[in-house]
Amino acid sequence: MSDVIVLGAGIAGVAAALHLQRRGRSVALVDRQAPGRETSYGNAGIIQGEAVEPYPMPRDLAALLGVALGRGNDVRYDLAALPGHVVPLLRYWWYSAPVRHRTLAIAWAGLIRHATAEHQDLMTAAGVPDDLVRRDGFFDMHRAETKLDAETRRAERLQREFGVAFRRLTPAELRAAEPALKTGGAGAIHWRDSWSVRDPGALVAAYADLFRRSGGTFVHGDADTLAALPSGGFRVQTADGPLEAAAVVVSLGPWSAALLRRFGQKIPMVRKRGYHRHYRVGTELSRPLRDAAFGYVAAPMTVGLRLTTGAEFAGVDAPATPVQLVRAEAAARDLVDLGAPVENAPWLGTRPCLPDMLPLIGEAPGHNGLWLHFGHGHQGFTLGPATGRLLAEMMTGEATLVDPAPFTPTRWWR
């Protein structure tokens, strides 16, 4: 019998399992798929040291009208699916008010400042090869001078308040840094504190291999079979038979809220779908580049140039509608020598976002041994090792990396 079952082998679950293991706990990691095959694989591969503020919803009328009319490519929605999104989106809008967002950002920034160091700790232990990771930032390119000026002012504020390192690049400087670009637009912000990974899924797999080499157990199983035992503890069915433990960690990303309904909870999750696809290129980019005007990131990966999209609001089981990706591809062809796609069809995944933009980390009220570790939004890949350590410290009674109070499940547990 294990001490802890961790449900979900994405970056958050794997990191939590590793940190619990380091603290002497016997851990079983359970997932339907191999580690790192869902959202932890499908992101832009950036460990965003600059992302000291969570993404708020636009509050001004012009920006909201632009989203409603589909003028940009950052956000797309299916009108028929909107009723299912209304309640969490209204709460998201409420928490995005400047005063509230500022309070949330202080807690969020406390986690972000540990992101690269916590990744490096696991990378060193796992023996991650140097050529998988770059530690020299990424580029945020703008096509309009006014937009670049506004982003520069925001960067200057983040530098003053949080110590974020950046440099504004002219179009010529951007093209000198990235010779593959056909144009430098109006220039770019070089966010210098961030790292980039050429295969996010491989990094999560390396962490999972470290967990197994250190004595951890990984088994294929269905989290939907989770049951609380009358005498205490939990059981889940796996390919190797039933597995029991005194405690369980729910780290299932966007599927976490559905599982927790059996405990009488309805956690309002903002489910943002996103797409990516790889393309062959004539000359590679050296680092990820965000094309701000078209809401996508072009990230060099081991299998090609990955284009990742913004947020799509659709039904839970709605078929893929990669409209944003089609637009991103057209825009990217203006920037680089973009060849044919590598895959026959785009990848589709869902980001687990909570209305107040902070993850849930802690023990579920009234349910001894039921621990929660999900809701990282756009920054699960960035924050998994840091929040995994925080969770393990809470579970073992250690002093914590940051104050855990802002992430308490009581925020949404009724």
Task: Give 20-35 pLDDT, tens digit per residue.
Answer: 999 999 999 999 999 9
Q: What are the two backbone dihedrals, phi and then psi, of residue 293, each rounded to the nearest 5 degrees?
A: -65, -25
Contact between 289 and 298 (Cβ < 8 Å): yes
pLDDT digits (tens, 9 = 90+) for 189-244: 999 999 999 999 999 999 999 999 999 999 999 999 999 999 999 999 999 999 99
SS3 88: helix
CA 394 to chain centre: 22
Strands 296-301 and 360-363: unpaired
Q: Rounded to two decimals, what is the model's pTM? A: 0.96
DSSP 193: S
Contacts of 82 (CB under 8 A, 6+ apart): 313
pLDDT digits (tens, 9 = 90+) for 331-347: 999 999 999 999 999 99
Query: What CATH class is the domain 1-56+96-131+195-269+354-414?
Result: alpha beta
Given this model, what pLDDT does residue 324 score? 96
Given this model, what pLDDT does residue 42 score? 87
Given this model, what pLDDT does residue 1 score? 72
Given this model, what pLDDT does residue 138 score? 98
Given this model, what pLDDT does residue 70 score? 77
Given this model, what pLDDT does residue 338 score? 97
Given this model, what pLDDT does residue 413 score? 83
Give the residues of the chain that fall short of pLDDT 50. Answer: none
Distance CA 408, CA 258 (A): 19
Greatest C-alpha distance within the chain: 68
